[in-house]
Structure 1
Amino acid sequence: MRERWVRQIADPDLVLLDEAVEFAVRWHGNQTRPAGEPYVEHLLEAVCVLVEAVGTTDIDVLRAAVLHDVVEDTECSPEEVRERFGDRVAVLVDWVTKPAPTEGQTREEARAAYLARLQHAPDGALLVKLADRLSNVQRLDTHPRPAKRRSYYQETVRSIVPLAQSHPWFRQWYAVWRETFGHLAVDGAHARPQ
């Protein structure tokens, strides 16, 4: 993919992106996605969407896209991200990292709070989240658990699709996606996006 980005991203920024990819690969190791593909493919796909579809060239946003799951899904700490990639990247990664439940809070409550918090995220963090979720939901039918397919579809419609409204490319993509995957709505019916 890197070869496809040389026209859009300056060489020094490509080097910075390479460093983030190497860091993510080291931390994610042999992790795979639910359908079995290497985890790094998801990270690079999020960057690909931002560069090739949306036209994002902000290197901190692109590095945050590569690193968006490193704190949530590995033993990497937020401090390690900050030390290696700076404050802005660390802040963007923090916005898209689901926190562990606090004392007395269920996983579902923690997840709901995380999704609600995204409504106040800076634009760069929203771009990362929208690209991350796009990568996750475009192959939702391959998830091994049907109940998870339905719940993830519903969560995306309820909490992520509204975030896409201020970004024309994502707004259009999610509208098409919603129609394509509408069969995952609980009752089998789905309303057209408003």
Structure 2
Amino acid sequence: MQTRSANPDPRNGDTAALLDAVMFAADRHRNQRRKDAEASPYINHPIALAHLLATIGGVTDVDVLRAAILHDTIEDTETTEAELRSRFGDVVAAMVMEVTDDKTLSKQRRKELQIEQAPDISNGAALVKLADKTCNLRDVANAPPVGWTLARRQEYFEWAKRVVDRLPPVNDALLRAFAEAYAGKPEGDGSPGEE
């Protein structure tokens, strides 16, 4: 009887490789919660990205799907680039690095860099970034972070659109999904009763 390695070859493109990334991300994000009123488990977010990529975008590239699952591990956990390279390979680690913000910079500078760097990222990273912004818009519209004012939610929508507008055109179906999410932008001028 032939057995499989506990660490599947990251280039084999099989389900085990994708599930290995899910297990790794679930472990790394295990104590994290989203900032919505329900404090949803953080792992729901990267899983939603991979789901959107596969179901709406028709993405079958396992490296892209794994990068989506792992996209916040370096930025929001103690995971290192070297660790991702060792476990998931150079291609996945490189995509994750392309979508990882440098937390030593101010939030404003990180946001500016996302806009500036968007045209130059790889197609795989652009798919992950597009899915991330789409899922985030859906979340901000339907389950916004606690304490976010109408104005802040509207600003997030505008900034996300500026990032996406500069990405390489990688997937029409995902761009349509982003446009649909963007159409859900909260409206109003923030006057009393609209928050």
Structure 1 residue 18, shift from structure 2 partner: 0.7
The answer to whether the 8 A contact 1:27-1:74 is kept is yes
Q: Distance in 2 between matches of 1:51 and 1:181?
A: 24
The answer to whether the 8 A contact 2:53-2:174 is kept is no
The answer to whether the 8 A contact 1:150-1:184 is kept is no
| AA in 2 matched with 1:67 | L
Size of the aligned set, in residue pairs, is 174
| AA in 2 matched with 1:13 | D
The answer to whether the 8 A contact 1:99-1:114 is kept is no
| AA in 2 matched with 1:116 | E
Higher helix proportion: 1
| Alignment partner of 2:158 out of 154, 161, 164 | 154
Query: Is 2:130 the partner of 1:127?
Result: no
Task: Classify 1:115/1:162 alpha carbon distance in 2 versus 1 (closer, same or farther; 3 Å).
Answer: closer
In structure 1, list runs of 5 or more residues that go unmatched. 1-10, 187-194
The answer to whether the 8 A contact 2:50-2:68 is kept is yes
Task: Classify 1:42/1:108 alpha carbon distance in 2 versus 1 (closer, same or farther; 3 Å).
Answer: same
The answer to whether the 8 A contact 2:49-2:132 is kept is yes
Query: Is 2:35 the partner of 1:31?
Result: no
| AA in 1 matched with 2:14 | D
The 4+ residue runs of structure 1 with deviation greater than 4 A are none
Structure 1 residue 148, shift from structure 2 partner: 3.1
The answer to whether the 8 A contact 1:72-1:98 is kept is yes
- TM-score (normalizing by structure 2): 0.81
Task: Classify 1:185/1:158 alpha carbon distance in 2 versus 1 (closer, same or farther; 3 Å).
Answer: farther
Structure 1 residue 182, shift from structure 2 partner: 5.4
The answer to whether the 8 A contact 2:34-2:41 is kept is yes
Task: Classify 1:185/1:65 alpha carbon distance in 2 versus 1 (closer, same or farther; 3 Å).
Answer: farther
